[in-house]
Chains A and B, each alone.
Chain A
Amino acid sequence: MAKVPVQFTLNGSEKAEFIESGTTLLHALRDKIGDTSPKGGCHQGTCGACSVIIDGELKLSCLTLAETCNGADIRTTAGLAEAGVLHPLQRAFLDAFATQCGFCTPGVIMAAKVLLDRTPNPSREDVVEALSGNICRCTGYEPIIQAVLAAARANSQNAA
């Protein structure tokens, strides 16, 4: 299988890899680059555990070919905390007991981040809609929704 060069920015740092053509971004991130924060739950685009942000858009890394990410700006949950200080979303997930097994959490946080970046004061319906592509099997969605709303409130207070 032919190897192709791929260059992108991951959480602010430059990455350059030779990757087998056809490799998904999920595999490239986890197996080649060592960022295991995106999780592989279904590998068919239905569970949302592998969600990452590519150039500001929420993407499923299991359905994205790594070779199509040349020059892209990729963000994952592993890069969300800055200098050890948790992002308001991360803080809110801790405080709201919105994690249980934690496997869906990185993907959910990415989906929530895209929502809050665009809609700083979302309604409950906005949150439900934004997280509709993320499956959680143990926590239940209510604490997660509450966490996202709490993070939005915290953000707007900081901005005020």
Chain B
Amino acid sequence: MELRKDYFADVRKDGLNEIGQPRPRLDSPGHVTGKTAYFSDRNFPGMLHLKMVRSPHHHARIRSIDTSEAEKHPGVVRVLTAKDVPHNVYTILILIQIGPEDETVLADGKVRWKGEAVVAVLAETERAAQEAAAKVKVDYEVLPAVFDMEEALKPGAPIVNEYHGQNYYLYDSGECRKVRFGDVEAGFAEADHILEQTYQSSPIEHAPTETTGCVVAPEGNDRFTCYTNTQAMFFTLDNASIILQMPGSKLHFVGGTVGGGFGGKVDVIVEPIAILGAKLTGRPVCFIYSREEEMQISSPRAAEKVVIKDGVMKDGRIVARKVTGYTDAGAYSRHSPYGAQKGAAHYPGPYTIPNVWIDTYCVYTNRTPSSAMRGFGVTIGDFALEVQMDKLARLIGMDPLEFRFINAYRDGDMKAHRQPTEGAALIECMQEASRAANWPVAEKFMAMSSYRKGA
């Protein structure tokens, strides 16, 4: 690989000696010998198995829960319901002051999605836990559910999550995250062409080869060691501390090798209830998602809908962009308010557009809560934006790569969210791409630079 050292020669630190050099992976010897320790490779004598009783309904009121038959099942040690959880309502991002707490550890009074955890069963064997879980009787009153984001936003739609009071996340800017820059209507009035398109995506499951889970061992001094495959060690530790009302010093988290995650293991779902089980029984507890649970219960990437309206001039300049984005959070927030917010910042794209108007909604529906997955909030947006860019170029009969050169942001340009552009390299990347792909562009574009004098 050739390193181009002429780019940003005045700002870069040189003497790089790692890029382009092969280095052995530190963890590989453990992987190829089967010695790498994943959380479930820890086994403790007397370990209990935790199985969840899950909601078969998308939206229902819980009239009653009867665990008596399950408790009598041979091998069952303890059955946990909402009342056993010290602080049963939480939200992951409360740690960075993003509330309200809106998700129950074990359902309390209501279930809001099909698969929601209602009762936890702890038993001597996996089979006993499974059989006992099947004996838990939950009496549900099924409620109307809403699965479509625009339906959920209509007046009179069933309220998914009472902790919010409405079916959208309330940002400090109101019912959606807003970006306002210039005068978008004036931009459209001036434009030679206007193109409005809608892009939609489905939820995507991460499907890590190793399913989500943890193994908890009581240390005997009211302290608990939790071996987990979380991708967010301290979010998990701190949330567990809040949920269990235990100081963090009582919780010893051991992470390390994660058998695939892709963002799907940043939620705080298995650890708090497994630690609670270990605390209440005094025994080690393992809680591992079955493959079926991993596919149906773990958070997927959010379904999104993006409506983009662009005003473009014949010479290729985009003069106005209006975007309405919808992120399907499912029944609970998890990381989705943040994902939708990232979308708002991202929709102008790496382009300098003088008039921008963006609304992104984080919408609650009775679907599996969505959460983090590789660039969540911006990946679907990028797909939509770049397809839109190609369509715009075609509309005005321009080469799509040249069209991007015209609109590419360069140092000193003001972005729609009023952050001046610094250290841009888009022009240079496109120039390299043009050469590598043998997709020639006019000489004037090859002479451009992201760096502007005086910027």
Contacts and interface: CB of A to CB of B under 8 A. Distances in A.
Contacts of B258: 101
Nearest to A105: B31
B25 A99 contact: yes
B29 interface: yes
Given A101-B259, A102-B259, A31 B33 contact: no
B250 interface: no
A101 B257 contact: yes
Contact of A81 (B33, B41, B209, B261): B33
Interface in A108-160: 109, 135-138
Given A30-B41, A41-B211, A94-B24, A77 B259 contact: no
B34 A49 contact: no
A39 B257 CA distance: 13
Interface in A37-87: 37-44, 46-47, 49, 76-78, 80-81, 86
Q: Interface SS of chain A: helix, strand, loop or mixed?
A: loop
Interface of B: 22, 24-25, 27-38, 40-41, 43, 206-211, 257-262, 290-291
A99 B43 contact: no
Contacts of A37: 33-35
Contact of B208 (A40, A46, A90, A137): A137
A101 B33 contact: no
Given A44-B291, A86-B33, A103 B210 contact: yes
A94 B33 CA distance: 10
A9 interface: no
Given A49-B209, A137-B209, A137-B262, 5 more contacts: A37-B35, A94-B32, A99-B25, A101-B259, A103-B38
A77 B257 CA distance: 18
Nearest to A107: B209
A78 B34 CA distance: 5
A78 B29 CA distance: 12
Interface of A: 30-31, 34-44, 46-47, 49, 76-78, 80-81, 86, 89-90, 93-94, 97, 99, 101-106, 109, 135-138
Contacts of B27: 99, 102
Contacts of A89: 32
15 contacts: A31-B43, A37-B33, A38-B34, A39-B38, A40-B40, A42-B291, A76-B34, A78-B34, A93-B31, A94-B32, A101-B259, A102-B27, A103-B208, A106-B31, A106-B34
A46 B32 CA distance: 21
A13 to B, nearest CB: 16
A77 B34 CA distance: 6
Nearest to B294: A42
B43 A80 contact: no
A109 B35 CA distance: 13
Given A101-B257, A137-B262, A39 B28 contact: no
